[in-house]
Amino acid sequence: MTSTNDPTAHAEVKAIRMACKEMGQFHLPGAVLYSSCEPCPMCLAAVYWANISAVYYAATRDEAAAIGFNDKFIYDEIPLDPEDRSIRFVNLKSESAAKLFEAWRLKEDRRAY
């Protein structure tokens, strides 16, 4: 990630992307992910979105924090209401967004996620 300046280029996410591409699907039930460290919040979410069945990891998030990979602030932010987070989140309620969601809901050939 630091060599590419891409904050999303974690090994777990890259592995999930490659597996989904290889399998031709976005769900990976039955898949197992091995990682050198407990997944960060982003990777953890990707594991759930991909429906991976198990994750095996070596170092804990606390051990990672001890050497500078501290994601505790993100874990702490996730359960907060958007208006209480340290980054500004603004809900721009719009009729256009509601129409897009309704169009997706009614789309006959949509792939359920």
User: Would you call 22 a catalytic residue per the annotation?
Assistant: no
Beta bridge partners of 54: 32
- Taking each helix axis as running N to C, give the angle between helix 11-23 and helix 41-49, from 0 to 180 degrees, rounded to the nearest 10: 20
> 75: helix, coil or strand?
helix
Q: Which of 12, 63, 77, 95 is catalytic?
A: 12
CA distances from 2 to 36, 43, 59, 64, 80 (A): 17, 16, 19, 16, 28
- Please give the positions annotated as active site: 12
